[in-house]
Amino acid sequence: MAEWMLCDVAAVCDLKYVTLRYFNVAGVDPKGRYGQSTTDTSLLVQIAVQAALGIRPYIEIYGDNYPTADGTCVRDYIHVADLVDVHLAALRHLRNAGPNFTANCGYGRGYSVKQVLDTVQSVSGSNFERRIGPRRRGDAPEVVAEAKLICAEFGWSPRYADLAAIVEHALRSEDRLQRRGNRT
């Protein structure tokens, strides 16, 4: 609806815009300057990292009977630093009088819940407990970005399109926050 409204307003006045559709933002800036830092999160990578560090006693998988390769939901995760780069590319696009534009922000490939948990366990060396719970209402089996347009239009290419890198940055940041007691 917001995209329609932007389009309508731009049709009657001199509004220039770029709309970015986020998929699953994950990870933390490699230098630790920005990223998720709350304990009350619904983000899978951060929850799994917290379980790996013993902050959470277990992780619950919401359903394992989806029509996917391993039965768990598949999502496209984009590193927060890559998302920052996309925003900067969008600003350059607008400054260069580029046309109004809407694009998906992701890598065009997904990872299942079990793949994310396996990666967190591998990177962290921790074997945390997993529990299978009921499906959440409305969860789609697979949500993956079609991201070719943003790459072509902005000349953007991701720097951190590797799940292990996303997890490693999140793990390092979460561990640092725990040791400092810096939680919000």
Three-state helix/strand/coil letters over 18-31: EEEEECEEECECCC
Whether 10 is in a domain gets the answer no
Whether 158 is in a domain gets the answer yes
Q: For residue 146, what is the enclosing H or E element?
A: none
CATH number of the structural domain spanning residue 65: 3.90.25.10
pTM here? 0.88
Provide the terminal-to-terminal Cα distance of the chain, rounded to the nearest Å. Answer: 32
Q: Is the pLDDT at 184 greater than 50, yes or no? A: no
Q: Is the pLDDT at 113 greater than 60, yes or no? A: yes
Domain range holding 146?
21-180
Pair of tokens at residue 159: 């720097």
Q: What is the mean pLDDT of residues 88-115?
A: 94
Closest residue by Cα to residue 68 from 122, 16, 121, 144: 144
Point out the least confidently predicted range of 1-10, 28-37, 149-158.
28-37
Which pLDDT does position 23 carry in this prediction?
87
Please give the sequence-ordered ranges of beta strands (E in DSSP) within the chain, or none if there are none.
18-22, 24-26, 58-62, 74-75, 77-79, 101-105, 111-112, 129-133, 142-143
Whether 4 is in a domain gets the answer no
Pairwise CA distance, residues 120 & 140, whole Å: 23
Which pLDDT does position 179 carry in this prediction?
74
Indicate the number of domains in the chain. Answer: 1
Whether 85 is in a domain gets the answer yes
Q: For residue 44, what is the enclosing H or E element?
A: helix 44-52
Whether 8 is in a domain gets the answer no
Q: What is the mean pLDDT of residues 42-56?
A: 93
Q: Is the pLDDT at 182 greater than 70, yes or no? A: no
